[in-house]
Every structure is written in structure tokens, then in C-alpha cells.
């Protein structure tokens, strides 16, 4: 039983670390962008950074907050992509930071049996572990899109790992 609790705590700690890393990277991108590009779309089939952030908030809330806390799912996914303005950079970041904070709190609060309990979300059936993995990977996926769009707009490195030697070899 003790191993199981230790495993759960480590799993949650790693999920939270990854969520905070994605949040840090999105924030770094937003700091490098002007207000007038937040709602621009690179082409007709891609989303603006504003839409991506609203989408992340909706998805994180649906999978990482409502489902894990067993509260009503009020997500309107289509609206996340229909919005074309109405939020500033600061408001979008505040919304994302709040959503991530609520989700990571939900991860910390989850009861042991909820890690394995299956539940339907967005028509898919996942365990609590599945929901957390989905939230982390989905956030990471869209963070990459925001980073790419930022690089295209600014034509410069984003500096995510400034001051860190990424050539260090693994311990064995």
C-alpha cells in the first residue's frame, strides 16, 4: 500500500511539473508578442494564440477539473474557436494560470480510488490517470503550437532554456 501511495504522489508531482513547464513556456511566448497578433490566424485552418489558450482552458477544465472533481461539465468547445477577440494578453494569461492552478489542485486532491475509476469525458472513457495524462500531453501539444507561431512571428529563439546546459549526458 505504501508503494502505491508513493507512486501516486510521484505521478502527480511529475504531472504538475509538466503543467507548470508548459505554462512557463506559454507565458514566455506571450511576453514576446504584441497585443495585435494574439488573435491573428496563420491561415484559414489554424487557430490564433488567443483561441489556443481558450481551448486549453476549456480542455483542462473538462478533463482535469470537472471530471476529476466530479462536477458538471459546462464546456462549450465550439465557442473556444469562434471567439475572435475580447481578451487581452494579460486576461488570457490570467485565465490560463487560474485554470492550471485549479487543475493541479485537483490532481493533488484526487482520492486514491479515483486514479483508476473509469469515467466518460468528451465521449471517451478514461481513468483518472488517463485524464491527467491527457491534460498534460494536450497542454504540451498546444504549447508547441504557440511556440511555433511565436517563432514564426518574431523570427527568433524563444529562450526557454537560457542558462541551462542541455548537452549534459544522462546519469547511469
Task: Break the chain into its structural domains and give their ranges.
Answer: 2-154
Cell 484526487: give the residue.
Answer: 110
Cα–Cα distance between 56 and 87 in angstroms, integer? 15
Greater pLDDT, 1 or 91: 91
Alpha helices in 32-121 (DSSP H): 49-60, 67-69, 77-82, 89-109
Residues 53-105 have pLDDT tens digits of: 999 999 999 999 999 999 999 999 989 998 888 999 999 999 999 999 999 99
Percent of the chain with pLDDT over 90: 85
H or E segment at 119? strand 119-121
Model confidence at 156, in pLDDT bands (50, 70, 90)? Answer: very high
- Per-residue model confidence (pLDDT) at position 4: 85
- On whether the CB atoms of residues 23 and 57 are closer than 8 A, the answer is no
Among 58-62, 133-137, 160-164, whose mean pLDDT is lowest?
A: 160-164
Cα–Cα distance between 96 and 91 in angstroms, integer? 9
Residues 117-131 have pLDDT tens digits of: 999 999 999 999 999
DSSP state, residue 148: H
CB under 8 Å to 125, separation ≥6 — which residues? 118, 119
Instruction: Give the number of other CB atoms < 10 A from CB of residue 105.
Output: 15
What is the homologous superfamily of the domain 2-154 according to CATH?
A: dinb family like domain (1.20.120.450)
Instruction: Give the number of other CB atoms < 10 A from CB of residue 87.
Output: 16
The answer to whether residue 138 scores a pLDDT higher than 70 is yes
- Per-residue model confidence (pLDDT) at position 99: 98
Q: What's the predicted TM-score (pTM) here? A: 0.94
The answer to whether residue 34 scores a pLDDT higher than 80 is yes
Cα–Cα distance between 172 and 162 in angstroms, integer? 25
Backbone torsions φ then ψ of 109, nearest 5 degrees:
-85, -10
- Per-residue model confidence (pLDDT) at position 117: 95
Across the chain, what does the average pLDDT equal?
94
CA 146 from centre of chain: 11
Cα–Cα distance between 46 and 55 in angstroms, integer? 13
- Per-residue model confidence (pLDDT) at position 88: 97
The answer to whether residue 44 scores a pLDDT higher than 90 is no
Amino acid at each position: 500500500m505504501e508503494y502505491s501511495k508513493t507512486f501516486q504522489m510521484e505521478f502527480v508531482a511529475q504531472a504538475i511539473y509538466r503543467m507548470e513547464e508548459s505554462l512557463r513556456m506559454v507565458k514566455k511566448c506571450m511576453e514576446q508578442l504584441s497585443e495585435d497578433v494574439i488573435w491573428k490566424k496563420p491561415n484559414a485552418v489554424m487557430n490564433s494564440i488567443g483561441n489556443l489558450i481558450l481551448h486549453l482552458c476549456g480542455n483542462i477544465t473538462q478533463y482535469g477539473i470537472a471530471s476529476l472533481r466530479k462536477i458538471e461539465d459546462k464546456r462549450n468547445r465550439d465557442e473556444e474557436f469562434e471567439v475572435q477577440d475580447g481578451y487581452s494578453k494579460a486576461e488570457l494569461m490570467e485565465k490560463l494560470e487560474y485554470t492550471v492552478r485549479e487543475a493541479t489542485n485537483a490532481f493533488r486532491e484526487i482520492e486514491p480510488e479515483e486514479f483508476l475509476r473509469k469515467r466518460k469525458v468528451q465521449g471517451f472513457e478514461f481513468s483518472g490517470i488517463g485524464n491527467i495524462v491527457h491534460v498534460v500531453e494536450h497542454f504540451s501539444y498546444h504549447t508547441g503550437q504557440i511556440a511555433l507561431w511565436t517563432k514564426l512571428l518574431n523570427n527568433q529563439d524563444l529562450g526557454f532554456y537560457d542558462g541551462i546546459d542541455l548537452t549534459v549526458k544522462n546519469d547511469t
